[in-house]
Structures are given as C-alpha cells and as structure tokens.
Amino acid sequence: MTQEKNYHIATLPNGLRVVAACFPGQVSYIGMLVRAGSRNEDSDHEGLAHFVEHTLFKGTRNRKSNHISCRMEQIGGELNAYTTKEETMIYTNAPAGYVARSLDLIADLVKNSIFPIKEIEKEREVIIEEINSYKDSPSESVYDEFEELIYKGTPLSHNILGTPDSVRRLTGEDARGFLDRLYTPRNMVVYCCDPGDPEKNIRLVEKYLGDLSFPDEPRQKVSLPALDHFETTRDRDAYQANTIVGTRLFGRTDPRRHALFLFNNYLGGPCMNSRLNMEMRERRGLVYTVESNVSLLSDTGTISVFFGTDPASVEKCSYIIKKEIDRVAQTSLSKQTFSKIRDQYLGQMIVGFDNRESRAMALAKSLLFYDEIHDIDTATEMIRQITVQEFTDIAALILEKGLCRLTLK
C-alpha cells in the first residue's frame, strides 16, 4: 500500500485497484470506474456498453429494481452511472457514514445482476427514446455525427447509444456476457472519498469486492486507419447551421497533452475572452455560441470547435477558426502574453478542483489510465513547464493534420 498526501492506493489480491482519500466534510463519494465502453463492442452489438449501464440497475439475485433505485435515495444519496467510448462509471454520493452501504450496492450490481426480461424490455424503450431525442437537437447530434466521420472505419465511429435497431437486438445474455468479459478486477478502479479513515475504507472495498474474480482477457491493440479528410453538409431542415471543425490528434498519454489543453482553453475555452468568442461573437456577431473541446482516448484524440450560425456564415466562421490557429502557429507570443494565458488556465483549474465529486472521479481515472495519481499539483507543475514553442507547435500540428468540417443545417 502506498500513501501520498491525503490519499491511499492499494491493490487487492484479486488485482482490483483502490484509491481512498480523506475528504473532510459530510459527504461520501464512492464509485467504480471500468475500462469498458462503446469501442469494446462489435458491429452486431452497437450500444451494448450503454445498454449494460442502464440495465445493470434492473435487478440482482438479491434485489429487485425498485429496491436498487431506493437504496441510496432513502438516505438522501444518489446512485448513477455514465458510459463513454472507453469507460463506464458507476457511482454514489451520500451523507458520510454510508460507505459500506454504497460498496455493498455497487458490488451486488456487478457480481449479481440478472438482467430480468420484463425490466429489460421497459428499459429498452427508454434507451430508444433517448436515441430519438437527439434527432430534435442538432447542436448535440452533430458531435456524434462528427465522430462517425473522424473515426470512420474503427469501433470508435459509432454512437455510444447505438441505434434503435441495434438496441432492439440486445439481450440480457449479451449484457451479462459484456459485464463478465470486461468488468474484471484488473480492468477497474474503485474510489472512496470520505471524511473517514482511508485504510478502513480500503478494507471495506476488500470485504465487498475482494472475491470478484471474472478472468481477464488479453486486449488486442487495433491500429487506426489514416484520417480521411472531409467537408460535409447534411440537410436537417433547421434554421441554424450547427457546425464542428476539427481534426484527429494524439492520445491521453502523449506528453504534449498539457500544451494541447492550454491551447484549447485559449482558443475556445469556457471564458468570454477566448479568442474565438471575441472574434466570432463579440467583434462580428456571427454566432451565439462557439466553443472548442479536446477529447483524448488511450490511443487517439480530437480537438474540435463547435459553432452555430446562419448557413450563409459557415464559410466565414470556418475561415476565422483557421486564421486564429494559424496566427498562433506563425507568431511568437511574448512572455508576458503567454504568462497571462497560462495563469488564466491555472486559475480555472483551481476553481474546478473545488468540485469534490469531480475530484473523486479524477482520482479513479488517473489511476486507471496512468497507473498513478495525477493531482492538481501534478497538473499545475506540468502547465507551468510548457514553453511558448510547445504552445506554438500545437497550433502548427493542428494545421498540419488538416481541419475537417461537418455542418448540419
């Protein structure tokens, strides 16, 4: 067992890793992070990871669906989950003192879910409604459709939710098989962030999950095909053109990622003084919303800019985005300007770190994907070490990779 700062890391005999932290206060944050998402599905089972996330709560050998849903709510807490392309998170938050209750429930879901047919059929319709709801929101669906194109030819291309047809084909046996195959101890991390004793909480994790023994399967690395560049417009009979401009880059372990995060924040981050917000909204009034995003996976990633505008202004907005990236690539920023860019981002990180639930989840993600804890001090030091040249190189790399574009209008 290792102890660093206020968190403890342990690996149980079955290979399950645990990170436990002392969070002063009155709330416990408990969760399980699994390295399993939509990229682990085959073409016949699109949407299965998300389907498992939903139907996991529909009955175990010990509890019926309503007992599961009420278990945390009865004490004022919450049980929830989410799925991405590479991970699934099952988590609770509750008043302090209910760590055992949370762990017992999560363990029951993973070890004993039976995916009852009647409950599955009801939840299937809920998921299909969720899929259909995106059709009414092009500003949301454009992200999924952009990823279909940017990751074309790989399991990363399909929508996390699947399609109505693929979801209708999924069965309880499919769900149980996916869980048994991927929810294995060495493929998961449990976090316990609570005002109590971290070592005691680690012992509780071992009590409830120490007997988990689904066998690990060897993972095959899949090489990604070269990016097939595109500029695509799809007619959705909408008033506004919802557009994403972006490209494919490196994965989450690349040492350039911190420079990329900094550049993304400067280009189109959440603050009103981002370059794109100043140029496209404040100066020219072309958009109501413009924002850039970075999404890094284990072996690849994207930077993308979303904006909504009049269809006649798509080309002009796209030109401004490229011009702003090129300006950084071609200009050596002064130390004073770069220091302001960096200090703003560091301040935003500190404010974001105040969210305890996000901080608890970040501990698990760091341990699962990096095999060590990258906390706020680690991130701060990495950001402070970025040079102007590294910042500039990111802009040049984006242009070198070539920008793709998708518009729904």
Which tens digit of pLDDT belongs to each residue from 356-366? 999 999 999 99
CATH superfamily of 2-209: Metalloenzyme, LuxS/M16 peptidase-like (3.30.830.10)
- Residue ranges, comma separated, of all CATH 3.30.830.10 domains in the chain are 2-209, 231-408
Between CA 345 and CA 68 the distance in angstroms is: 41
Residue 2: pLDDT over 60? no
Count Cα neighbours of 287 within 13 Å in the Cβ-side half-sphere.
27
- What is the DSSP secondary structure assignment for residue 219, as one 8-state letter? P
pTM score, two decimals?
A: 0.94
Helix residue ranges per DSSP H, 42-197: 48-55, 65-73, 99-112, 117-133, 138-150, 164-169, 172-182
Phi and psi torsions of 309, nearest 5°:
-155, 175
For residue 221, what pLDDT is reported? 62
- Length, in residues, of the chain: 409
Opening angle at CA 20, ends 16 and 23, nearest 5: 160
The type of residue at 204 is L
Give residue 8's Cα distance to chain centre: 24
Summarize the confidence of residues 24-53 as an average pLDDT: 96
Least confident window among 173-177, 255-259, 329-333: 329-333
For residue 219, what pLDDT is reported? 66
Residue 40: pLDDT over 50? yes
pLDDT tens, position by position, 321-364: 999 999 999 988 999 999 999 999 999 999 988 899 999 999 99
Can you name the residues that pair with 192 across neighbouring β-strands? 20, 30
Summarize the confidence of residues 158-165 as an average pLDDT: 95
Give residue 264's Cα distance to chain centre: 17
Residues 119 and 171: beta-carbon distance below 8 Å = no
Summarize the confidence of residues 394-404 as an average pLDDT: 98
pLDDT tens, position by position, 206-220: 999 999 987 776 666
For residue 134, what pLDDT is reported? 85
Report the SS3 class of residue 240: coil
The proportion of the chain whose per-residue pLDDT surpasses 90, expressed as a percent, equals: 89
CATH superfamily of 231-408: Metalloenzyme, LuxS/M16 peptidase-like (3.30.830.10)
